[in-house]
Structure 1
Amino acid sequence: MSAPDTTVISKATARPGPFDWYRNINQQERRTFWSCKIGYGLDGMDTQMLSFVVPTLIAMWGITTGQAGLIHTSTLIASAIGGWVAGILSDRIGRVRTLQLTVLWFAFFTFLCGFAQSYEQLLIARTLMGFGFGGEWTAGAVLIGEVIRAQDRGKAVGMVQSGWALGWGLTAILYALLFSIMPPEDAWRALFILGIVPAIFVIFVRRLVKDPEIYREAKAKEAPSNPSKFYEIFAPGMLFTTIRASLLTTGALGGYYAITSWLPTFLKNERGLSVLGTGGYLAMVIVGSYVGYVISAYLTDILGRKKNFILFAVGSFTIVLLYTQMPVSNGVMLWLGFPLGFFASGIFSGMGAFLTELFPTRIRGSGQGFCYNIGRALAALFPLLIGLLSQTVPLSVGIGAFAAVSYGVVILAALSLPETRGKQLDAQ
Structure 2
Amino acid sequence: MSTTPPPKALKADDGSVPGGPIASGDPAAPGEPTDDGGAFGWLRALGPRGRRAFAGAFGGYALDSYDYFTLPLSMVALAAYFGLSSGQTGLFTTVTLVVSAIGGAVAGVLADRIGRVKALMITVITYAVFTVACGFAPNYETLLVFRALQGLGFGGEWAVGAILVAEYASAKHRGRTLGAIQSSWAVGWALAAVVYTLVFQFLDADLAWRVMFWTGALPALLVIYVRRHVQDAPGAALERQNSPEKGSFTAIFRRGTATEPGLLRTTFFAVLLSTGVQGGYYTLATWVPTYLKSERGLSVVGTGGYLSFLISGAFIGYLTGGYLTDKLGRKRNIALFAFLSAAAILAYTNIPSGANTVLLVLGFPLGFCMSAIFSGFGSYLSELYPTAVRGTGQGFTYNTGRAVGAVFPTLVGFLADSWGVGGALIFGALGYALAVLALFGLPETRGRELL
Q: CA deviation at 1:64?
A: 3.3
1:182 and 1:263 mapped to 2: Cα distance? 23
Q: Say if 1:201 and 1:240 are closer, same or farther in 2 by CA, change over 3 A.
A: same
Q: CA deviation at 1:274?
A: 4.3
1:268 and 1:187 mapped to 2: Cα distance? 17
Alignment match, 2:361: 335
1:394 and 1:186 mapped to 2: Cα distance? 28
**Does 2:256 align with 1:231?**
no
1:110-136 Cα shifts (integer Å, max 9, x gaps): 121222222222222121111111111
Report the 3-state secondary structure (helix = DSSP H, G, I; strand = E; otherwise coil) of the residue aligned with 1:278.
helix
Amino acid of the residue matched to residue 80 of structure 2? A
Alignment match, 2:45: 24
Determine which structure has more spread, i.e. the larger CA radius of gyration: 1
Q: Say if 1:24 and 1:120 are closer, same or farther in 2 by CA, change over 3 A.
A: same
Q: Say if 1:267 and 1:86 are closer, same or farther in 2 by CA, change over 3 A.
A: same
**Does 2:383 align with 1:375?**
no
Q: Say if 1:38 and 1:393 are closer, same or farther in 2 by CA, change over 3 A.
A: closer
Alpha-carbon contact 2:101-2:403 (below 8 Å) kept:
yes
Amino acid of the residue matched to residue 371 of structure 1? T
2:67 and 2:229 mapped to 1: Cα distance? 23
Amino acid of the residue matched to residue 109 of structure 2? I
Q: Say if 1:55 and 1:265 are closer, same or farther in 2 by CA, change over 3 A.
A: closer
1:388-419 Cα shifts (integer Å, max 9, x gaps): 6778878777544x445422222232243211
Q: Say if 1:347 and 1:202 are closer, same or farther in 2 by CA, change over 3 A.
A: same
2:74 and 2:432 mapped to 1: Cα distance? 31
Alignment match, 2:321: 296
1:103 and 1:404 mapped to 2: Cα distance? 31
Q: Say if 1:363 and 1:278 are closer, same or farther in 2 by CA, change over 3 A.
A: same
Q: Say if 1:106 and 1:280 are closer, same or farther in 2 by CA, change over 3 A.
A: same
1:313-356 Cα shifts (integer Å, max 9, x gaps): 11101112323455471110110000111111221111010000
Alignment TM-score, normalising by the size of structure 1: 0.88
Superposed CA RMSD: 2.5
**Does 2:446 align with 1:421?**
yes
Q: CA deviation at 1:265?
A: 6.4
Alpha-carbon contact 2:187-2:315 (below 8 Å) kept:
yes
- Select the structure with the greater relative contact order (CA < 8 A; seq sep ≥ 6): 2
**Does 2:142 align with 1:121?**
yes
1:78-132 Cα shifts (integer Å, max 9, x gaps): 1121111111111111111000001011111112122222222222212111111
Instruction: Using the TM superposition, name which of 175-184 and 192-201 deviates more.
Output: 175-184
1:145-171 Cα shifts (integer Å, max 9, x gaps): 111111111111110111111111111
1:41-68 Cα shifts (integer Å, max 9, x gaps): 0111111111222322333333333332
1:287 and 1:152 mapped to 2: Cα distance? 23
Amino acid of the residue matched to residue 397 of structure 2? C
Identity of aligned residues (%): 47
**Does 2:81 align with 1:56?**
no
Q: 1:319 aligns with which of 313, 336, 344?
A: 344
1:178 and 1:404 mapped to 2: Cα distance? 33
1:219 and 1:404 mapped to 2: Cα distance? 39
Alignment match, 1:6: none
Higher helix share: 1
Q: 1:92 aligns with which of 113, 116, 128?
A: 113
1:152-201 Cα shifts (integer Å, max 9, x gaps): 11111110111111111111112222333434343332322221121121
2:395 and 2:176 mapped to 1: Cα distance? 20
Alpha-carbon contact 2:111-2:391 (below 8 Å) kept:
yes
Q: Say if 1:375 and 1:279 are closer, same or farther in 2 by CA, change over 3 A.
A: same
Identify unmatched segments of 5+ residues in structure 2: 1-35, 256-261
**Does 2:305 align with 1:286?**
no
1:128 and 1:372 mapped to 2: Cα distance? 18
1:220 and 1:60 mapped to 2: Cα distance? 51
**Does 2:162 align with 1:136?**
no
Report the 3-state secondary structure (helix = DSSP H, G, I; strand = E; otherwise coil) of the residue aligned with 1:162.
helix
Instruction: Using the TM superposition, name which of 322-331 and 140-149 deviates more.
Output: 322-331
**Does 2:131 align with 1:110?**
yes
1:228 and 1:163 mapped to 2: Cα distance? 27
Alignment match, 2:410: 384
Alignment match, 2:21: none
1:244 and 1:254 mapped to 2: Cα distance? 15
**Does 2:222 align with 1:204?**
no
2:273 and 2:171 mapped to 1: Cα distance? 22
Aligned length: 408
Alpha-carbon contact 2:197-2:304 (below 8 Å) kept:
no
Alignment match, 1:308: 333
Amino acid of the residue matched to residue 392 of structure 2? S
Q: Say if 1:109 and 1:305 are closer, same or farther in 2 by CA, change over 3 A.
A: same
Q: Say if 1:190 and 1:241 are closer, same or farther in 2 by CA, change over 3 A.
A: same
Identify unmatched segments of 5+ residues in structure 1: 1-14
Instruction: Using the TM superposition, name which of 232-241 and 251-260 deviates more.
Output: 251-260
1:263-296 Cα shifts (integer Å, max 9, x gaps): 66677777x5648952211111111111111111
2:385 and 2:288 mapped to 1: Cα distance? 35
Q: 1:150 aligns with which of 171, 186, 191?
A: 171
Instruction: Using the TM superposition, name which of 102-111 and 190-199 deviates more.
Output: 190-199
Amino acid of the residue matched to residue 174 of structure 1? V
Amino acid of the residue matched to residue 337 of structure 2? F
Alignment TM-score, normalising by the size of structure 2: 0.84
Q: 1:354 aligns with which of 370, 380, 396?
A: 380
Amino acid of the residue matched to residue 353 of structure 1? S
